[in-house]
Amino acid sequence: MSDNSNSALSYHEETKHSELSVRMSAHYLDWNNKPSPFKHYRNLPSIPLPRNFPHPREESLRAIRGFYPIIASKRLDVGILAEILFFSAGLTRRVSMGTGPYYMRAAPATGALYPIELYVICGDIPGLRAGVYHFNPLDFALVRLREGDYRAELGAPGHEENLTCPVTIALTSLAWRNAWKYGARSYRHWFWDSGAIAANLLATSASEALIAKLTVGFVDSEVDRLLGLVKGKEATVALAPIGLGLPQQAERTAKASSRLDLEVEPLSQEEVEYPIIWKANEASSLRGSAEAKEWGQSFKSRTNGNRADGATFPLRPLKEGDSPVPSLEEVILRRGSTRKFARQPISFEQLSTIVDASATVIPLDFLPHRETAIDFYFIANEVSGLPSGSYFFDRRAKFFVQLKDGNLRNTSGYLCLEQPLFSDASVVFYLMTDLRRVVSSLGERGYRAAQFEAGIRAGKIYLSSYSLGMGASGSTFYDDAVTEFFSPHAKGKSTMIAVGIGVPAYRARTGRILPQMSAKARTG
């Protein structure tokens, strides 16, 4: 990585929100220049994905927690790949707008701008030949970028699973698509939005009894070149090898990926550059396989338990059979960021279940087993069986510790950029980390790692909330104000993302599996 060891922390400091920075911002939205939500390649072969793919039938909470029954005979074919792609990033809603149809997707995205693209790197699997592909959610098809087995290009020391598993899905960011609205702060959103997709991907893979892993420690330039990404415009965020533990396929000769010169339709008429984003991304890049391997083994566990004084409330999750649990398919189709919460209570058991499912082990390459870089803080506005106030979740002891008591609805809304939605929410989570400790342990790339883990846990909060018939919505925040509010316990910590949950004030229309609709119905 770069010797400029302050780039990540400097980026974070320079992109903090405060009352002053928000009110003095000169940024505005040029609606005539809004980026296209889809990436279109010109003159490349496209392979339609099957429309009759399987659906994730496992009980949602089991899948979200990471229920992995190992089935030795399980095979990953093009149908299951289509299932994972759809339930991670497929189109679930079609909304008519003045300029034409607008599509919403299986996982949430900041500003509904969907900056994350998915690529598939695979060996031969039933129904699909080895190659490198781009996933086109609008046509529900794969665009072939390279023919042949390029998995060896991903098999850096310490990450041999990318070589031996049948499929790896790469998550990349098309930076301008989100920067159009959020400017320099949008670099944070790369990891929030890809994390939400990763949460869906992990749960869908678990439902199919396929073991998946998430890799943040890869050699950036090699993966970007393999996928044909344009430097300074798009970059790889994470890799997700799927099908670990399946019988290995016959090894193929490793291919050296040449530079791709691909024609892509412009996102919009013009793009604004934000050098601070690319400075932070470049500083946190890994230069070679040895560095990637060393990085993946450098996380230092916390020595203290991060204890707090205050009343404690042991978790009391819902037991199996306490209430019906929908399938993962139902939950993902039901999910959509809540736009208005009713000021109604949720139960202590529901809150416990959501935290229990969201704070579970995540198979991230940089985390030792049962470790995490993220702490759960929250404001409970209305939870039956829990006094209103602010709390910290002690994950080792599995109880909530009260930090402050009293009605804090105005505070939860204020901290989330003064949005009434987060005053109305029953609970607002603030996922925090000690950035200096993480960067000291993992170097510049630790910034990416912490943001990505927070995005995954936020995605799990979304899914588990909808599993219980509730709603959820993510939010940005006043950075230092959140730290100050939760201090002294949170002193020195930084907020990665905020998520409000509660009872929706309206009945939302359930999404659909749009690829299974007729072409006429999809185009109107």
Q: Which residue has the higher pLDDT, 488 or 161?
A: 488
Q: Is 395 left (phi over 0), alpha (psi -120 to 50) or beta?
A: alpha
pLDDT number for residue 523: 38
User: Which ranges of 378-444 does DSSP label H, i.e. alpha helix?
Assistant: 409-415, 421-424, 435-442
Rounded Cα–Cα distance for residues 19 and 23 (Å) = 6
Task: Look at 37 and 258; give whichever has higher pLDDT.
Answer: 37
- Among 143-147, 182-186, 335-339, where is mean pLDDT lowest? 335-339
The model's pLDDT over 373-423, given as tens digits with 9 standing for 90+, comes to 999 999 999 999 999 999 999 999 999 999 999 999 999 999 999 999 999
pLDDT tens for 365-385 read 999 988 999 999 999 999 999
Tell me what pLDDT residue 6 has.
Answer: 82
Res 334: pLDDT: 94
Answer for the pair 318, 387: CB distance below 8 angstroms, yes or no.
Answer: no
Question: 524 or 382: whose pLDDT is higher?
Answer: 382
Q: Pairing between strand 346-347 and 383-384?
A: parallel
Handedness of CA 106, 514, 239, 326 (dihedral sign): positive
Give the model's pLDDT for residue 520.
38
Whether residue 519 is predicted with pLDDT greater than 50 in this model: the reply is no
Three-class DSSP category at 200:
helix
Average pLDDT, the chain: 91
Instruction: With beta carbons less than 8 A apart as the criterion, state whether 438 and 447 touch.
Output: yes
pLDDT at 3 over 60: no
How does pLDDT run across 446-495, given as a tens digit for each residue?
999 999 999 999 999 999 999 999 999 999 999 999 999 999 999 999 99
Range list of β-strands (E), 129-194: 131-136, 141-147, 167-174
**Looking at the predicted structure, is the pLDDT value of residue 518 above 50?**
no
pTM of the model: 0.95
Q: For residue 415, how many other CB atoms are within 10 A of its CB?
A: 26
Mean pLDDT in residue range 171-179: 97
What are the pLDDT digits (tens) for 271-295? 999 999 999 999 999 988 888 888 8
Kindly write down the DSSP assignment for every residue of 216-242, as one continuous string.
Answer: --S-HHHHHHHHTPPTTTEEEEEEEEE
- 238 pLDDT above the threshold of 60: yes
Assign 199 a pLDDT band (cuts: 50, 70, 90).
Answer: very high
Q: How many CB atoms lie within 10 A of CB 48?
A: 12
Which pLDDT tens digit goes with each residue over 52-84?
999 999 999 999 998 665 554 468 999 999 999
Confidence at 253, pLDDT banded by 50, 70, 90: low
Tokens of 441: 């342990």
Q: Which residue has the higher pLDDT, 365 or 249?
A: 365
Domains of the chain: 29-264 (3.40.109.10), 312-504 (3.40.109.10)
Q: What is the mean pLDDT of residues 209-221?
A: 94
Quick one: pLDDT at residue 55? 96
Collect all residues with Cβ–Cβ distance below 8 Å to 6 and sequence separation of at least 6.
none
132: helix, coil or strand? strand
Q: How many residues does the chain have?
A: 524
Cis-peptide into 488, omega within 30 deg: yes
The answer to whether 203 and 328 have CB atoms below 8 angstroms apart is yes
User: What are 427's strand-pairing partners?
Assistant: 380, 501
Q: Please give the pLDDT value at position 1.
A: 46
Mean pLDDT value across residues 431-446: 95
Structure tokens at 506: 């309206």
Statement: residue 351 has pLDDT above 80? yes
- The single-letter code of the amino acid at 435 is L
